[in-house]
Amino acid sequence: MTAPTLDDVLAKDAADPLRSFRNRFIIGDGADDPVAYLDGNSLGRLPKATAERLRDVVEREWGSRLIRSWADGWLGLPERVGDLVGSAVLGAAPGQVVVADSTTVNIAKAVHAAATLRPDRRVLVADPTDFPTDRYLVESVADQRGLKVGWLADGAGALDTVLDRGLDRGLGDNAAAVLLSAVDYRTAAFADVPAITAVVHEAGAVMVWDLSHAAGSVPLLLDADEVDLAVGCTYKYLNAGPGAPAYLYAARRHHERLDNALPGWIGADDVFAMADRYVPAPGIRRMLSGSPYVLGLVAVEEGVGLVAEAGIEQVRAKGIALTELLVALADDWLASYGVEVASPRDPERRGAHVVLRHPDAHRIDHELAARGVIGDYRNPDLWRLGLSPLTTSYEEVWLAMQATREWFAGP
């Protein structure tokens, strides 16, 4: 198949039903803005509305209203923004999501809570190739609770193994909880969330999903799929900014037995009682710990609001189209230089980033960045290119692959 021309991709941009959203983000036209920003799966662009909202929060809500703003609405932000995240990108009914803390803290909370739901079981199950934080935390929680870690089969086929054989090697009978990523941070492989959740439940374990590379890029139906707990960050496809607070989902059916390993005053039943003994709040609020991070929460609200307005199905459709374009160009222009597509070929089983494998991936990433093509590198030989549907244009993808082909061709 002949690779699309620049005119072809410009026509796709002109016909893009989401094209107006790009104008609602800060995208410079000077030397500092890249030719192609393909790292939205690490840090999304800044929405213009977020900059305006933060200015109002700082100057009016904090500057003028001062402590009165807690009663005006700040205290309810974790649940209010959580409900928006739930409805816009998680497929979750109200009252099951809070936004607070970091992804790391929320994973620790979720895994602890999952283990508490199965007190008679002694194994936490994880993927040995998952994101480092997930692996570190499973080991840490296991150590703290006197449990063992059961690693799934090595390699990229670990989740397929779960579907084929269930929780094998004796893990199933003693597994308390399973922590997996819905979209693989390296390859963009999109897990079969409902099928794997069902296998885990059949084994009697609690399912915890890390949705960091999934929420805002692929449709999720946590309630319908009977997921138990889930966590994820907001600074990737949800465009909430660096260090923005993460979200934690817990299915309503677990709330009465939900245990927070980091109890704090904001998660207490009566926040201002200053009671001698901790009594957890009813519902999802019990998973909160410290005071809400107001600036981060309003940034999440603005970023997620744009995804909600666009609609996750349209976002997914464009994500597939963008990744298909990148794969086609990589096959046509870069395969002869030894570049291999390391992401799934089936677009339905791929998230919104594409990974290219090459022995010189680190140098490619560094030197292409100097030419204005921003992606990122993952050990040992992966160049990862994130395509954020609300902000990435088809032209950017074409220009990135053209610059890469020119780099390989040399002077």
**Catalytic site includes residue 384:** yes
**Catalytic site includes residue 192:** no
Which of 101, 134, 210, 225 is catalytic? The answer is 210
**Catalytic site includes residue 24:** no
- Alpha-carbon separation of residue 284 from 204, 268, 388 (angstroms): 23, 11, 30
**Catalytic site includes residue 190:** no
| Phi, psi (rounded to 5 degrees) for 273 | -75, -25
**Catalytic site includes residue 253:** no
- Per-residue buried b or exposed e for 333-363, using 16+ beta carbons within 10 Å of the residue's own CB: bbeeeebebbbbeebeebbbbbbbbbebbbe
Which of 37, 235, 249, 293 is catalytic? The answer is 235
Residue 331 in contact with residue 163, Cβ under 8 Å? no
Q: What number of other Cβ atoms are within 10 A of residue 242's Cβ?
A: 11
Which of 109, 236, 318, 350 is catalytic? The answer is 236
Which of 39, 384, 394, 405 is catalytic? The answer is 384
Which of 25, 131, 237, 247 is catalytic? The answer is 131
Active-site residue set: 131, 210, 235-236, 384
